[in-house]
Amino acid sequence: MSKSSKVNVMTKNPTTFSRRSLIRAAAAAGLITPQFAANRAVATTADATDFRAELGTVQITRRGPVTLHTYMASDQSSLVTSHIVETADALYLVDCQFTQSHAAEFRNYVDSLGKPIRQVHISHPHPDHFSGYAKNFSDVPVVTTAKVRDVMKERWIDSGRIEDLAKAIGPEAPETFVTPEGNVALGASDWGGVSVNILEYDDAEAQVHSVVHIPEAKTLIVGDLAFANAHFFPLGNNANWINVIDEMSRIEDVELVLCGHGLPAHPGVFDDSAAYLSVLLVALKSETADEAIEMMRTEYPAYGAKGILNFINRLYA
Ligand SMILES: [Zn+2]
């Protein structure tokens, strides 16, 4: 492990005129609300840890009683994130990466903080958020809500789809997959003396999503219900996803949003996400998948995780 600490420079997505005008046109057509806020990342500072990430990056934010660490994978792994809620005495993790390389690096970073890991909470039943668990966190309880667990088990583990995925990603897949305990209740919970509120939303990017609200830190950890400067997974219920974003954006007194893909963001990421989905709904009316993909690339030229757009092909298959 290197001794030098890594200072992360937050990047800001330039908002192009054409994108703004398209969003205005979508708003005029009643597709989205007219107020549009650019996705502003929250400035962070490097912490005292001497860990240097080689594959991903780490963003650290101190808020209220907690320090929040976001490990973000490289673009090859679609900028997928894992978060650490660091309390006075312990670490509470949310999601644990897709590839084994990123998960191993994330684990090394977690260990560099020198506090016990109480649990890994899985935000939603998509393997880019839980596949890294089995090999790298098997000594730590893995938990989620009953609904997230049930969907994960049914759609990925019991169906055998997870094995097809493992074949597809080869050495970056774990040897086995682990189903979490579905013992996380909705509502108030205590994470190392810090009050958190567990929320759940259905039928958006995934069939079900758990969201962690930390009121004292004015923070929401939303999984894939919002993306920050990264292309969105397009196979969910995109229309209802916009409704879910609207609902989340009404949660009061939130200043920091930790997304499932991309850097820590300002709540303006909700407007950005709703606008992106409105554009996606228009793009998916294209004659061909190639046209739809091209439209999204053109409208969001600075967005990362372009590989995610390939999932659009499935909608045209
Ligand atoms: Zn994801």
How far, in Å, from the CA of 226 to the mean position of ligand 1?
10
List the domains of the chain with CATH numbers.
Answer: 17-39+46-316 (3.60.15.10)
How far, in Å, from the CA of 118 to the mean position of ligand 1?
23
How far, in Å, from the CA of 269 to the mean position of ligand 1?
16
pLDDT (tens place) for every residue of the chain, 317 residues total: 333 333 343 333 333 334 444 443 443 333 333 222 233 334 344 444 678 888 999 999 999 999 999 999 999 999 999 999 999 999 999 999 999 999 999 999 999 999 999 999 999 999 999 999 999 999 999 999 999 999 999 998 888 888 888 888 888 988 888 899 999 999 999 999 999 999 999 999 999 999 999 999 999 999 999 999 999 999 999 999 999 999 999 999 999 999 999 999 999 999 999 999 999 999 999 999 999 999 999 999 999 999 999 999 999 99
How far, in Å, from the CA of 125 to the mean position of ligand 1?
9
User: Residue 101's Cα: distance from chain center in Å?
Assistant: 18
How far, in Å, from the CA of 126 to the mean position of ligand 1?
6
Residue 302: its pLDDT value, please? 96
How far, in Å, from the CA of 309 to the mean position of ligand 1?
12
How far, in Å, from the CA of 182 to the mean position of ligand 1?
20
Read off the tokens for 151.
């969907």
Read off the tokens for 138.
């098997």
How far, in Å, from the CA of 4 to the mean position of ligand 1?
30
How far, in Å, from the CA of 232 to the mean position of ligand 1?
8
Q: Do the Cβ atoms of 201 and 248 come closer than 8 Å?
A: yes
Strands 187-191 and 219-227: unpaired
How far, in Å, from the CA of 28 to the mean position of ligand 1?
30
